[in-house]
Amino acid sequence: MRLRYKRWARPYIEAQKNVYIDSKELKGEVFANIIARDNVYLEIGGGRGDFIVEMATNNEDFTFVMVEKNLNAAAMAIRKIVDADLKNVYVIIKDFFRIKEHFPNESIKGIFLNFSDPWPKTRHAKRRLTHENALKEYRRILIPSGKIAFKTDNVNFYTYSIGRFREYNWDIDFNSYNYSGKDDFDAQSEYEKNFRYQRIPICRLIASKGENVYDTE
Ligand SMILES: C[S@@+](CC[C@H](N)C(=O)[O-])C[C@H]1O[C@@H](n2cnc3c(N)ncnc32)[C@H](O)[C@@H]1O
């Protein structure tokens, strides 16, 4: 996602204390209290926030946390959240891999990965949000009945990702290379809207934690 530098972004974000979780708060009580709630859902790489805004609007009793490393995209997401007057969405502007330790064990009910960057080159495989390292972290932070919902237009990335979920013993609850979009607990992200407009099929997988294949530490 290429976005031009937005001069308004930084001061605007910093003024949105009820939505934006900064680095200091991430380590403190504010975030600890948010993450201790029941029914916390996490979207990683939420872009400009269309998905999270719709989900939070339709599910007011649930809490949504969006992690997005691109400041300009996140600023646009925060603006949508503020304009919609949503009180159940929080935004962290960081690379997930750099802040993952702030998510306690078994604190998240569901993780959404929408049109994550596929990183097709093998040397970049570790950056994929469905890489083994990421799946290991998701398993740690999800509650026992926790699930991941993953959508992409990229068939190779999808096939790779199903392979990793299977390899690391996740149960595949739903698997489609041409997802209809019919699920009450889902929403269209900006990328999904664009792909559907172009009639590009959407792949979708829902996986839940099977038995842990990693050694417990
Ligand atoms: C292709 S865009 C998709 C945006 C949005 N999910 C959508 O479907 O419209 C991928 C987004 O993920 C973000 N991203 C990629 N890796 C990330 C990571 N490790 N942590 C946080 N954000 C990440 C990128 O900055 C980008 O905004």
Domain residues of the chain, as ranges?
Answer: 19-208
Q: Which atom of ligand 1 is nearest to the CA of 46?
A: 6
For residues 200 and 193, what is the distance between their CA atoms, to the nearest angstrom?
A: 10
Is residue 117 flagged as an active site residue? yes
CA dihedral 80, 82, 85, 90 (to 10 degrees): 90
pTM, entire model: 0.96
Structural contact between residues 84 and 55, judged by C-beta atoms closer than 8 angstroms: no
Task: Give the residue, out of 65, 97, 116, with the most ligand 1 atoms within 8 A of its beta carbon, to mutate for a pocket test.
Answer: 116
Which neighbouring-strand residues pair with 42? 65, 111
* Full pLDDT tens readout for the chain, 217 residues: 556 667 899 999 999 999 999 999 999 999 999 999 999 999 999 999 999 999 999 999 999 999 999 999 999 999 999 999 999 999 999 999 999 999 999 999 999 999 999 999 999 999 999 999 999 999 999 999 999 999 999 999 999 999 999 999 999 999 999 999 999 999 999 999 999 999 999 999 999 997 666 554 4
Identified catalytic residue from 95, 117, 153, 215 = 117
Task: Give the residue, out of 70, 119, 186, with the most ligand 1 atoms within 8 A of its beta carbon, to mutate for a pocket test.
Answer: 70
3-state DSSP assignment of residue 202:
coil
Structural contact between residues 21 and 30, judged by C-beta atoms closer than 8 angstroms: yes
Phi-psi region of 57 (alpha: psi -120 to 50; beta: other; left: phi over 0): alpha
For residues 78 and 17, what is the distance between their CA atoms, to the nearest angstrom?
A: 11
Which neighbouring-strand residues pair with 207? 148, 172
Question: Per the structure block, which two tokens stand in for 94?
Answer: 């960081």
Q: Which atom of ligand 1 is nearest to the CA of 193?
A: 9
For residues 60 and 91, what is the distance between their CA atoms, to the nearest angstrom?
A: 16
Pocket lining: 73 vs ligand 1, CB cutoff 6 Å: yes
Helices and strands in the chain: count of H runs, count of E runs: 9, 8
19-208 CATH choice from 1.10.10.10, 3.30.70.20, 3.50.50.60, 3.40.50.150:
3.40.50.150
Whose alpha carbon is nearest atom 27 of ligand 1? 47
